Amino acid sequence: MTTIQTVGVAGAGTMGAGIAIVAARAGFRTIVFDARQEALDRARGQTEAFLKKSEERGKLPPGAAAAALGRWQGTPELASLAECDIVIEAVFEDLAVKHQLFQALDPVCPEHTIFASNTSTISITEIAGGSGRPDRFVGMHFCLPAQLMKLIEMSPGLATSDETFQRAWAFAEAMGQKPVTTQDTPGFILNYFLIPFNNDAIRLVEQGVAEPADIDLAIKTALGYPMGPLELLDLVGMDTQKLLCEAMHGLTHEPRAACPPLVRRMIAANRLGKKTGRGFHVYGDTKMFGA
């Protein structure tokens, strides 16, 4: 049984919004922090649309969408996270940015509050080292889209206490997720494979081997993936992919992890993916995946 009742999510982007849905849907009071009010408004709208669609499709019982929305609170004030039993960080893949966030959070949150990072590439031990509470810090990497995918990669840092890890594990299970233990290594399990794989798909487009729609269709049809790699990249965002590549390549020096030039050109053209309406594919709306 989890001892966690109130959940904080720092960052209202695609990943943070999805994590907040998972927590609120599971019955936890959920406080979403983002300094940008427009990001909070967008996340609220996406959350409402997703939950209502889930109810319409019979994936949630009648009234569950409204109840989950009632547990969801957005705030531009970091001090509002003082009530949280756990705060999950879902901000840019940049160590300095994460340190700045946790250093501001440490004096705000009570002693018992667990800090967690949704990082997929940066060392949990390194992030925890700048958090002020490395013994109460854990990696919780949700899979994109978090509101549909059940897996969470749970990674202890070198200083993470057994009690912290077990509390976080029980919380993951209480949300209806499936946690797995991974060591604190670059990319953990999924992104160790996924970042180079997605970059390979980008390079196929760069080299003119095939069109994005055909690459996605081939992967979905032959390998049974629910999304093609370029569809997934549009959901992640080219700006995020660039940061993931830079972090992963900087740690591993794996050539396939290096950011393809096409990603930088797409960022310059504001073709970031679904959030700007165009990436490898063109979108008529910016609704959350699954809504």
Catalytically annotated residues: 120, 141, 153, 191
Q: Which of 71, 102, 69, 75 is nearest to 86 (CA)?
A: 102
Distance CA 91, CA 13 (A): 8
- Give me the half-sphere count of Cα atoms (radius 13 Å) on the Cβ side of residue 206: 14
Distance CA 56, CA 105 (A): 38
Distance CA 259, CA 200 (A): 10
Residue 3 carries which side chain, given as an amino acid letter? T
Cα–Cα distance list, 110 to 8, 99, 167 (Å): 13, 18, 16
Looking at residue 282, what DSSP letter applies?
B
CB 52 within 8 A of CB 78: no
